[in-house]
Chains A and B, each alone.
Chain A
Amino acid sequence: MSQSFYSRENFNLGSKHFIIEPLRQRFLEQRLRTVFESFGFREITTPTIELGNSYSNCDFGNTGSIYHFTDKSGHVMFLRPDLTTSIAKLVATHFRFLEKPIRLYYIANSFLSDKDYMEREFYHAGAEIIGSNTREADVEMMIMAIEALQKIGITEFKMDIGHVAFWEYIFREAEFKVDKIITLYNLLRNKNFTSFIKEATLLSIPDDLREVINNAPFLRGKFDLLNSLGKISKYKEMNILLDSITDTCTVLDEYGVGDYFTLDFSLVGDLGYYSGYIFEFYTKDMGSPVGSGGRYDCLLGHFGYECPATGFSINIGKIIKALEKKQSLTMAGEIPDFFITKTHYSPKILFKVARELRRKGFLVEMEITEKTLDESLNYARKRDIKSVIILGTNEKNEIQILLKNMETDDDTIIDFDEFLL
């Protein structure tokens, strides 16, 4: 292997380097687990590397961004780009005969190659309900995601809810051809509203539909939006859909999360497999959604088992960034409680002192280099460690323990046994 591969110039070519992140991630994971488990969900893991063509037939948006490679025998393998498809495959093949509904959650990494370097490997946490097509399942997903975000300390977030069938019905009433519908969906998915409006209004369509299409990016609101869409509720399917959405909004309002959600019919979902309600979460500080979810009733069918399902996922990396921007990420374990250092000599009780403190449950870091006391204190200051214990000797050559408070710079001589009590 050439030396230069590891050189500084290539430092940014891989995916993300995790240094402080794992700690924060585990902290968030722990909180997410409590929420998920309180709803009766069980954790599942799927293989990181999977065989071949699971994605080729299930409309996973841009399949070109999945990492593919071959194994020793020449089979095409890939790194999972998301967990939902893997779980759908797993349930369709292994858990087909389990009592439904199945509630599963995961906290795992996925890989996509078209992202920026730092986001090629990303961690997300999510949950899936498989085997229920009711509104209750959809609402359970939405409120669980909201509770999860609240629990991990994100306060200023919002949820947008859309429904895939909204545009489906409009396109059907406007009598568009299939290839046209595909083009229009792609334009919506790429948020290219100018071309969407231009493309959709070229043909002669009823005025009430034209008005909705012209207003495509601005179909946001709540009951006011539903009222303003009253005009198109003369179409039977659309009427049923809008009624059902109204009911869902009422249920969410009743639950007490009314402030968190907005309806947005311009949503069609980034991934191709969504089939019902879709929702995404965003915070004030991040330029892209921190999580998303929705119903995917047809996905399991691709693996030979027709079964309704719904789920969501939260991008942990983005959550950490969002929390860091607000600086509300107070992490147990990031900074040690004590730093133990010594003066000129190397006392044998150094390790023992550390052990006693650790047994009491403190996080303790020790000086293990040849630094002078000043340098070592400097290190503690840079690490933001609040208390430093200095081991030294007094004039009578007895061991003396000094507790230094780094914030106030106060020294106190302590009797170690007493200190521990």
Chain B
Amino acid sequence: MKPLSIALPTGKLLSPSIEFLNAIGINCDSLIIDDRRRIYFDNKHKYKLILLDPFDIPVYIEHGAADLGIVTKDVLLERNRTVLELLELDYGRGKLVLARSENNNFSTLGDIYCYSAVATNYPNIAFRYFSKRGIPIEIIKVSPPVEVALESGLADLMLTCFLENLPDKEIIEIDEIAIIPCLIIANRVSFKNFFNQIYYLIQRMKELIANRGALNLNPDI
């Protein structure tokens, strides 16, 4: 039978994801993180693990090149792709914030004037966010770490996502845009074709999450 392929994000989320998959019984021992190889199989050849840049995962899933994926919500908001969002995981939670550096004085959104610039690695989210609020602003797309754009004076504001707290006390949060959960997503056709297998996996994941303890849910979501 064709193995079920699971897309895993490289970077910070990789090791907790591997730990998570191991915990629900998907053996990831073959996986060597420092290798150039991107495709691995579990020891029973039932699962195919594909390591991908987090931002590439939605398109792989949409086209059915991978059946399941682990991805954070910020990526889904930025890359508008049709995928099934099945389950929220208990790790990898981050938040999407609008922040300024210590030495400028925008304390609220109202202080932003039209010559301001915002540096972001989420140009689509930033565009929607400011358009919705009627704020004219220049959006500068940069790669992470976005903090550098503030420190070097490229932009007045930054819109980015942090896994934990803000990295530097010189950066001050203006608006918390959203809590970003880490999600299990699926291709809409693979979900049907592998229904029993995916259903079983999701049940295992739910059990595991419940056993690990209740989620520290933020009521503002």
Contacts and interface: CB of A to CB of B under 8 A. Distances in A.
B82 A191 contact: yes
Contacts of A282: 188-189, 192-193
Nearest to B203: A218
B199 interface: yes
A264 B199 CA distance: 14
Specify which of A193, A194, A220, A284 lies most central, judged by the most chain B CB atoms within 10 Å of its CB. Answer: A194
Given A194-B87, A194-B88, A198-B221, A288 B183 contact: no
B156 interface: no
B214 to A, nearest CB: 14
B86 A193 contact: yes
Interface of A: 158, 160, 190-195, 198, 217-218, 220, 262, 264, 282-284, 286-289
Q: Give the interface SS of chain A, mostly helix, strand, loop or mixed.
A: mixed
B85 interface: yes
A191 B65 contact: no
Given A191-B82, A288-B64, 9 more contacts: A158-B192, A193-B85, A194-B87, A195-B85, A282-B193, A284-B193, A288-B62, A289-B188, A289-B189
A192 B186 CA distance: 11
A283 B188 CA distance: 11
B84 interface: yes
B183 A194 contact: yes
Contacts of B62: 287-288
Contact of B189 (A190, A218, A262, A288): A288
27 contacts: A158-B192, A190-B82, A191-B83, A191-B84, A191-B188, A193-B84, A194-B86, A194-B87, A194-B88, A194-B181, A195-B85, A217-B84, A217-B86, A218-B199, A220-B195, A282-B189, A282-B192, A282-B193, A287-B62, A287-B64, A287-B189, A287-B190, A288-B64, A288-B82, A288-B188, A288-B189, A289-B188
A190 B187 CA distance: 12
Chain B CB within 10 Å — which of A158, A160, A217 has the most? A217
B217 to A, nearest CB: 9
Interface string B50-80: 0000000000001111000000000000000
A189 B114 CA distance: 36
Interface in B144-195: 181, 183, 187-193, 195
A385 to B, nearest CB: 34
Interface of B: 62-65, 82-88, 181, 183, 187-193, 195, 199, 202, 221
Q: Which of B64, B83, B84, B85 has the most CB of A within 10 A?
A: B85
Contacts of A264: 192
Contacts of A198: 88, 221
A264 to B, nearest CB: 7
A354 to B, nearest CB: 44
Contacts of A283: 189
B90 to A, nearest CB: 12
A287 B192 contact: no
A284 B192 CA distance: 9
Contacts of B85: 191-195
Contacts of B187: 287
Nearest to A189: B82
A287 B181 contact: no
Nearest to A190: B82
A218 B86 CA distance: 9
A266 to B, nearest CB: 9
Give me the 8 closest cross-chain CB pairs, A-B, nearest first.
A287-B64, A191-B84, A282-B189, A287-B63, A192-B85, A194-B88, A194-B85, A287-B187
A158 B188 CA distance: 13
B192 A262 contact: yes
Contacts of B189: 282-283, 286-289
A376 B188 CA distance: 48
Contacts of A194: 85-88, 181, 183
A194 B85 CA distance: 6
Nearest to B59: A116
A264 B193 CA distance: 13
Contacts of A217: 84, 86, 191
